[in-house]
Amino acid sequence: IILAIVFTAMALGNVEPQLFPNYLKIGMAVCLAVGAVWYIFVYLQLNRIDVASLSPANLFSKTANIKLMMISGEVFFIVCLVIFFTLLFQSFWSYNQTGFWAMVATILFAIVYGIVYMWPQYVKLFRDLNSIKE
């Protein structure tokens, strides 16, 4: 929500209109606001699950629905980011090629770091979450 407010303020204040056009700021503010509302909704759904009173099968069903909602929210956010960076790359290529290459290098570093370091941890956490231990 805070980032959505920041992007909205940037659009209203017309900060860097040539390098960072208003349609990018407004688009990012909308995507961030929708994402924040979605995560609040998922949190409220998760908060309403009473672990003590549910049967294991019902609890598994409810947590599986929460996982599906989280994944769908993340897919929406990734699509928004892809659209945002596609449009931002075009703007940077036209007005600031040093910034363009710095952004490309940073994104490539983040992708490699995510694949090498973060992905195995997420796989392990997912397997641990889905394993049934006695």
Answer whether 0.85 is exceeded by the pTM.
no
Please give the pLDDT value at position 134.
47
Tell me how far apart the alpha carbons of residues 83 and 24 are, in angstroms, rounded to a whole number: 9
Tell me how far apart the alpha carbons of residues 4 and 8 are, in angstroms, rounded to a whole number: 6
Q: Which of 18-27, 30-39, 60-69 has the highest mean pLDDT?
A: 30-39
Say what percent of the chain tops pLDDT 90: 19
Q: What is the residue-averaged pLDDT of the chain?
A: 86
Is pLDDT above 60 for 133?
A: no
Q: Is 31 exposed, middle or buried (0-12, 13-18, 19+ CB in 10 A)?
A: buried
Tell me how far apart the alpha carbons of residues 3 and 33 are, in angstroms, rounded to a whole number: 8
Higher pLDDT, 95 or 27: 27
